[in-house]
Structure formats: C-alpha cells, structure tokens
Structure 1
Amino acid sequence: MAEEARPKSEVAVTAETTDMGRISNAFSPPKPSWFTPKRLLIIFCVINLLNYLDRGAIASNGVNGNRRTCTKSGTCTSGSGIQGDFNLNNFQDGVLSSAFMVGLLVASPIFASLAKRLVGVGEASFISLAAPFIDDNAPVTQKTAWLAIFYMCIPAGVALGYVYGGFVGGHFNWRFAFFGEAILMFPFAVLGFVMKPLQLKGFTPAESKKALTGIEGAVSEVKDDSTSKVDMLSIKVEVTDQSLKGPSKSRCRYVNLDQLSRFLKDMKVLLLEKVYVVNVLGYISYNFVIGAYSYWGPKAGYNIYSMRNADMVFGGITIVCGILGTIAGGLVLDKMNSTISNAFKLLSAATFLGAAFCFSAFCLKSLYAFLVLFSIGELLVFATQGPVNYICLHCVNPSMRPLSMAMSTVAIHIFGDVPSSPLVGVLQDNVNNWRVTALVLTTVLFLAAAIWFIGIFIHSVDRFNEDSEHPVTTTEKTNTMPLLEGKTAGETEHCGA
C-alpha cells in the first residue's frame, strides 16, 4: 500500500535514476586487468622464443645430422639424425626447413583479418597481433626498444634450438627433441584459447558495442514509461532486430563478401604504399640470407672449420649477438628520433656493414678470426629487427597494422627463407664447397642494404596517429584499461553450414 501511495512523479524519477545508473555503468572505466603491457610483453617473448626454438632444433647437427658417406676405397660411415635416417641430399634436407611454413602462410592473413583474438597457428597470430599491441602500449620514447625486445626472441630462440637440438640428439634420439617442444608449447596453446580479446588501436572495442546496445534499450524503456510513445531510437532498434532474423546462411554470405571486399581494398592500399613495398622487398632479401644462415650455419661451420661443437658455437654467437644487436638497434633508433627515414638509414648502414664483416669472415681460414668477424657481422645484421618492423607498423593506418604485419610475414617467408634453404642445398650439391656457398649467399645482404638505402629518399608519412577507417569514439580512445576486453556478443553465434 505504501508503494501505491507514492506519487507518480517520484516513481518516474526513481525509474529514470535507475536507468541513468545503467547507462553510467555501461561507460564506467572497467577494472584493471592482471595482463599489464609489461606482463604481456614477457608472455609474447616467451611464446616467440619457443616458436623459433623449432627452427634451431631442426637445423642443429644433433637433430639434422649428416648423410651416409662412402670413400673411394669403399669405406662407408653411417649417417645420423634426420638426413642420415632418410638418406636426404642437401636439397631434400633444405625442403624440411620450408615445409612447416605452409600453415603459417595460410594462417597469417586470416588472423590479421580477424584481428580479434590472440589465438592461432604459432607465428601467424603473434606477428599479426602482438607487434601492433606492443606498439600501442609501449612508452612513446621506447616503442622501437620494446619491439626490439620482442623480435630479439627470434635469434635467441634459434640459438637455444641449436643447443637444445644438439644436446637431445647427442644423448637420446632426434625425435625426442620435437616431443619436448610440444610439451613446452602446450600450456601456451591453452592460454591462447582462454585469453580474452586484445584491444588494438583503430578497432572499436567489443564492450562499447554492447554498451551502446544497452543504452538504446534503457532510453527506449524510459520513453515508454513516461510518455507511452515510440521514438525514432526504438524504431531503429526494432528494425535492426528484424534485420538480424534473416536466414543465417544469407547473413554469413554477405559478411564473407564484405570481408573479402575489405581485404582486397586494404591489399590495394598496401601495394600502392611505396614505403611499405620498398621496406618489404629489402626484408625479403635480408630474410633470404638469415633463413639460410639459421638452417645451414652449423653444418657449414662444421665442414669449413671442423668445429667439434658447431651447435654450441653457432648457438652461443647467435644468442649473444642476436640479443645485443636487436636491442641495440631499437635503442639507437629511439635515440635518433624514431622516424621512418631514420629507420631506413639505420637499416641500410647496419646491413651493409654486417654483410661486409660476414663476407670477410668466410674468406678467412683461421677459426678464431672467423668467429670474431662473424660475431661483429651478426651483431650489426640483427640490429635491423626493430627498425624494419617499426616501418611496417607506422607507414599504414592503425586499423591496417595487423594486415601489414601479416603480409610482411608472408612475403619474407614465401620469397625469402622458404626458397633459400633448398636453393642453398642445390648450390652446395653442385659446387660441393661450403665456403663458396656461404660467400655467394652472403652477397644477397648487399642487395638488401641497397634496397633499404632507396627507402631513405622516398617521401614517408608516419600514420600512427591518423584516423582509422574503423574510427573509435572519444570515450573509447581514452578508455585504455583493461587491456583484455570481454567476449564479444557475436562469438556465441555461428554461421550456418
């Protein structure tokens, strides 16, 4: 009875206050997430490290081994590792390093277009999504340094793979190396599926869409209770709901065509961006050499300089020079003032000097002189990782960064390290001289330096702060926490088969 005695105006005010509270909660800052930028950077680095552990392991003498050989007198030595067990020539052995890339090349553009979850096929999802996320959340004066730390895990992972593969292959069987990798990666694979979506600059947060839907509903209820009239907002909601009741197959077909159209449009933008094209062309030439180095390095060192522990030697050089060189490259670019032009200057200079030192190293017969010059060369060559990816991220609009990174990854693999290992194998099968093979391969680094040198003179624009084609509201731009948003409403819906 007390409720009935309350004035209608008081009831209306109470209802309005409640609805306004719902609207305020929809836009209130979310609670901070445990996954801070620094913690996520550490997680990304560990996963990237394990991704590249595989490449080092399969290239190590302990896992890769040697082919069965026979002398002219008829004395034969049994083979070892993968090459010995399957009696592979150098070309066939080189194909092994390229075979696993098929999944990566297919998956990388897919996850770039989704740009929603940190899940996927190894490197495919990380390169597409992790690098833009790091670029968004790194301090302004340390962006390249943070990227360098992330990409430092590439040479570090390969180097650890050399040591790991050499140890496991030498003490057990080469197959156990891959079993161990699967066990190490399993927890991170599970983490990838349970983690909430990351929010990237240039993409509208899922929570904001849900908040807007709640506000529309709340406003329409207040209007209905106070005036019993239907305004244009409620009509809009009703029309939207009716449009979603159509056949699921038709909606999926429309969405797929729309995504394909957007993908083709974005690809056209990338291909017309001269800075991006020149950067990727230089990166392809660079990766052609680095991919072959990482696969054939221990075997070449073993044959040229009779290294007893080639896996340990190349692993040690690569991990030290990779870490120091990659971080140094990022820090130097930050000190130079991180611009696209300065990044090209650093790329061309570091690559040219690194190529000169590596080429000179392979000309020497002394093992110790080789180790000194080759270490300096690798230190300079690995300084490119931060700058080259900085250009990929900053020469395009924010919403296109995942696609930019994905297509860069696809290009440097499909035209770089995928064909380089088999081609180097063919060259070695024909010349049968690892020193000549290594010198021919190293000359390609001079081509990379020349291409990046051209980039210095191309007009460039840093588009990091440009408005995206998928703009976000002012509220969304200032609302940077939490780093991981909740599940989108659309995740519960599935397209009909």
Structure 2
Amino acid sequence: MKNDAKPLWPVVTLVALTGLNLLDYLDRQLLAAVLPALQADLHIGDQKAGTIATAFMLGYFLTAPIFGWLGDRVSRRWLIAGGVFVWSLGTLLSGHASAFISLLCFRVLVGFGEASFGTISPGWIADLFPPQRRNNAITVFYFAIPVGSALGYLMGGYLAVHYGWRSAFLWAGYPGLVLAFTLFLFREPARGASDTATAAVPVGSAAPAGWRSYLTLLKISRYRLVVAGYVAQTFAMGGFSLWAPSFLFRVHHMALDKAAFFFSASLAATGLVATLAGGFYATRWQRKTGTGYAWVLALSALLAAPVAFAAFTLPDLGQAKVALVATMFLLFLSTGPVNTLILETVPVAMRASAMAASIFAIHLLGDLGSPAFVGYLSDRWGNLRLAVLWTLPGALIVSAIFWCLLVRNVRRTPAGGSTS
C-alpha cells in the first residue's frame, strides 16, 4: 500500500479511513442503543444517563484543539493510529464498568481517541483529492456516520436484549485495537498536495505560530457562520440521537430491540441516501453557482425544524415514525457540504486546526449539554416528549438562520474574501 500511484492510492486510503470512521460512529452510538438496559443495571436516572453521553463529549471537545494544533505540525498517521487505539480501549473498558463513575471515565477516554481521528482525518483526505473532487470524497468519508451509527444502534440493541448491555461494548472494542496498526501501511500525503495555485485559499499560507492559529480562524467570517450553524444543529442532534430510541420505547411503547432496530435501519437508509445525495448534488450546484454548499445547509435546517416538531407531537406511532425518518433524511443532507466548507474557508496549512476548532465549538456549545439537558427536563417534568420538543426544533431554526446568513455572505463576497 506504500505505492502512491494515482488514482488507486487516494481511493484505497479513502476507503480505509471511511471504514475506521464507520467503526468510530458504531462505538459512539452503542450507548444510546443499550441505555435502558444500562440504566436498569446501574440504577441511574435520566439526568445521569445524559451525563454519560456528556462525559464522552467532554473528552472529545477538550482534546480536539490539541490534536488540531498537532495535526498541522506533526505526523498525522501516528496521531490517527493512536486515536483509534485509545477509543477502542475505552470502548472495551466501558463493557467492564461496574459503577456510574467508572463508566464516565471510560467514555471520556473514548472521547480522547475519537477526537484525534475526527480532527485529523478530513484534512488528510483533503490533501488526497483536488478541489473539484474533494467534496465528493469528504461526502464518502462522512457517509460512514449514518451507517456506523445505525450499526451501533442495531448491534447494541440486539446484544443488550440477548446477551446483556456489556457485551455490546466488548464486541465493538476489540476490532479497533487491531485495525489501529494497519494505518502504518499508508503513506501520509504532503499538506496541500492536491491544491493548486488557483485555489481559493493560497497553498503557501502557513499556520500562525502556536495557538494564534485559533485566533486567526475567528477573523474569517464565512468560517464563523458555518460553525455557528453547525453548533445549533449539533445541539439538536445530540438530544435527538440519544433520546429518540427511548422516546419510541416509553411514549409509543415499542419493545427496546424493535425500537433500536427501527432507529438503526432508518438511520442507515436515510443517512446513506441523504449524505450521498446532499453531497453530490451540492457539488453540482456549487460548480454552477458557487453557492450550492451554503444553500444545501440552509434548506436542510429550514425544512428539518417543522418536520422534527411533528415527529415528537404526532400521537400515532406510524405517523411519528414517518416524521422521524424524514427528520433524519433532512439532517444528513448537510453532512458533506458543512465539512467541506470548514476545510475550504481557511488556509491550507490550518485545516486540522479549523476542523479541531469546529469540533470544540459544536460539542462545547452543542451536544455536550443537550443530552443531559433533555434528561434534566424529562426528570423534572416527567415528560420525555415535552423535553425533546424544547430542544430540537428551536435549535434547528437557529441553525437555519446562521446558514441563511452564510448564503448571503457567499453571494456578496468573492472566494477568498471572507475575512473580516
């Protein structure tokens, strides 16, 4: 695999990183799938259950800026391999947790490892593909989110019912410990290798010394708008992804394994189709108008807000399931374009830092607190449906506002002129 002859080398690397990204999100969503069984075994309420998800996000977003800074300066291969090993170890240990506190610590460890992988991998992919193919490659990488998440829900729900919730973490942890070492078979591309002199962001741009790179990012108005909308969307998705299976279990009285199967199957189908459709259509729209990426973001959030409201208010299970599927589809439309914009609105030498800053922001201000917030409201009000309604639709409206402002910014400002 050390032969970098084109076009096989970029494609093989993309496939390998996409496979690891799938495992990443499989591990991440196991918690939601096994949550009712875990709560019953460890005797914890909804607020503490939400805090477990928050612990993962705490480890994830706190270390993302560190890995972002390192990812623009040292070997990305070593950082990614180490991240895969650490998150897999944390997943494995989660299956051995005997109390609430130990489970919190192990989920933080998972967050550490996934922060390294999630921060650095997109920049590696961006260096493998030229601008006209980059969004499609990024879209393929991120299609692993719905597929991996769906497998996590499906596998977690099945194993929790038939073998106990601990078995789900054990089965998911071992593969990553082995796969981490396969990354050393790949050669790392030079930073900016696939960019040209005509690219919107100058190839020769150097990352500012030290932590000043993050201050530089704050001066890029287009980057700020992309991330602000992403923060609001992530706040909504954090509550949605953790509590939707429990919502079906409690409110509509679906069996736990059936709720997990429905959610995982819907997530896989809608996520796969929407991620690929949104990414490839946005690429075509972008080539024609220069605003395609921004428009896909804005429209996905605008349409998702009312559909999400319906999903959690419709009394009929069949209608609620249709609305949930539609909500997932609309949310995943933005996956490829939003991550492409994060990479393309900044200098080449700052891509890892840009991804790290976005991860830090979307988790600190987004899904770090939303699962626990929904759990708190549910415990306080005794109504999970009402708790979800206070978080999801409103956050999506806020996301739509920022991304509509992004559309206006892109239309008014030429490429490369987004700094203010």
Q: In 2, are the aligned partners of 1:202 and 1:399 still within 8 Å (CA)? A: no
Q: Hey, what does 2:44 align to over in structure 1?
A: 88
Letter matched to residue 231 of structure 2? I
Cα displacement (A) at 1:423: 0.5
The alignment status of 1:288 with 2:235, answered yes or no, reads: yes
Deviations 1:175-212 (A, max 9, x none): 11111111121122222456443422179xxxxxxxxx
Residue 403 of structure 2 is aligned to residue 449 of structure 1: no
Partner of residue 423, structure 1: 373
- Are positions 1:393 and 2:340 aligned together? no
For the pair 1:408 / 2:358, whether they are aligned, the reply is yes
CA shift digits 1:66-114 (9 cap, x unpaired): xxxxxxxxxxxxxxx2211221111100011121234323432233222
The alpha-carbon deviation at position 313 of structure 1 amounts to 0.7
Instruction: Give 1:83's aligned amino acid.
Output: Q
Corresponding residue for 2:133?
142
Instruction: Note the C-alpha offset of 1:434.
Output: 2.1
**1:299 partner letter:** S
TM-score by length of 2: 0.81
Q: 1:327 aligns with which of 272, 276, 292?
A: 276
State the alpha-carbon separation in 2 of the partners of residues 361 and 177 from structure 1: 28
Confirm or deny that 1:41 pairs with 2:32.
no
Q: Is the 8 A contact 1:340 1:391 kept in 2?
A: no
State the distance in 1 between where 2:14 and 2:61 align.
24
Q: Does the 8 Å contact 2:128/2:189 carry over to 1?
A: no
By how many angstroms is 1:140 displaced?
4.5
**CA–CA distance in structure 1, aligned partners of residues 290 and 224 of structure 2:** 13
Structure 2 CA distance for aligned equivalents of residues 188 and 33 of structure 1: 24
Contact map agreement 2:236 2:367 (CA 8 A) in 1: yes
Q: Describe the superposition over 1:424-483 as per-residue Cα deviations: whole angstroms up to 9, x where unpaired.
A: 10011112122212222222111111111111222545459xxxxxxxxxxxxxxxxxxx
Question: How far did residue 162 of structure 1 move?
Answer: 0.7
Aligned pair 1:315/2:264, yes or no? yes
Contact 1:279 1:452 in 2 (8 A): yes
Distance in 1 between the 2:278 and 2:7 partners?
30
* Number of equivalent positions: 364
Match of 1:170 among 161, 182, 194: 161
The aligned residue for residue 435 of structure 1 is 385
CA offset digits 1:267-318 (Å, max 9, x no partner): 1210111111111111011001111111111001111211121000111111
- Correspondence 1:11-30 to 2 at 5 A: none
Deviations 1:138-157 (A, max 9, x none): 35443222211111111221
Q: 2:295 aligns with which of 338, 345, 358?
A: 345
SS in 1 for 2:118: helix
3-state DSSP of counterpart to 1:36: helix
332-341 or 411-420, which deviates more: 332-341
Structure-2 residue corresponding to 1:216: none
Does the residue aligned with 2:127 lie in a helix, a strand or coil?
helix
Q: Is the 8 A contact 1:56 1:158 kept in 2?
A: yes
User: Any stretches of 5+ residues in structure 1 without a counterpart?
Assistant: 1-29, 66-80, 204-258, 465-497
Question: Alignment partner of 1:43: what SS?
Answer: helix
SS of 1:148's partner is: helix
Tell me the secondary structure at the aligned position of residue 457 of structure 1: helix
Choose 89-98 or 151-160, whichever is displaced more.
Answer: 151-160
Shift of 1:415: 1.3
Sort the Cα spacing of 1:34 and 1:351 in 2 relative to 1 into closer, same or farther, 3 A: closer
Q: Is the 8 Å Cα contact of residues 143 and 272 (structure 2) preserved in structure 1?
A: yes
> Which one-letter code corresponds to 1:112 in the other structure?
G
Whether 1:64 and 2:13 are equivalent positions in the alignment is no
Residues 102-135 of structure 1, C-alpha deviations (whole Å, 9 max, x = no match): 4323432233222222224233233333212322
> Which has the higher Rg, Structure 1 or Structure 2?
1
The CA distance in 2 between the partners of 1:270 and 1:285, in whole Å, is: 19
Q: Deviation per CA, 1:315-342: give whole Å up to 9, x if none.
A: 1111111111111111111110257633
User: Which residue of the other structure, out of 136, 140, 148, is the alignment partner of 1:157?
Assistant: 148
Contact 1:362-1:438 at 8 Å conserved across structures: yes
Match of 2:64 in 1: 108
CA shift in 2, pair 1:196/1:108, >3 Å:
farther
Q: Does 1:358 align with 2:308?
A: yes
State the alpha-carbon separation in 2 of the partners of residues 46 and 178 from structure 1. 18
Instruction: Pick closer, same or farther for the CA change 1:31–1:343 going to 2, 3 Å.
Output: closer
2: CA distance, partners of 1:260 / 1:144: 23
Aligned partner of 1:74 in structure 2 is: none
Counterpart AA for 1:136: D
Matched, 1:130 2:101: no
Looking at structure 2, the residues matched to 32 and 142 of structure 1 have their Cα atoms a distance apart, in angstroms, of: 17
Counterpart residue type for residue 48 of structure 1: N
Contact 1:93 1:425 (8 Å CA) reproduced: yes
Give, as a single letter, the amino acid of the residue that structure 2 aligns with 1:170.
V
Contact 1:55/1:295 (8 A) holds in 2: no
Deviation of the 1:386 alpha carbon: 1.0
How far residue 343 of structure 1 moved from its aligned partner, in angstroms, is 1.8
The structure-2 alpha-carbon separation of the partners of 1:137 and 1:463, relative to structure 1 and needing over 3 Å to count, comes to farther
Superposition TM-score, scaled by structure 1 size: 0.69
Please list the CA deviations of residues 194-248 of structure 1 after superposition, one character each: whole Å capped at 9, or x if unmatched: 6443422179xxxxxxxxxxxxxxxxxxxxxxxxxxxxxxxxxxxxxxxxxxxxx
Q: Which residue of 1 aligns with 2:173?
A: 182
Report % sequence identity: 30
Write the distance in 1 (CA, Å) between the matches of 2:290 and 2:69. Answer: 25
> Structure 2 matches for 1:479-494, cutoff 5 A?
none
2: CA distance, partners of 1:378 / 1:31: 37
Residues 278, 451 of structure 1: 8 Å contact kept: yes
Amino acid at match of 1:59: A
Change (3 A) 1:35 1:145: closer
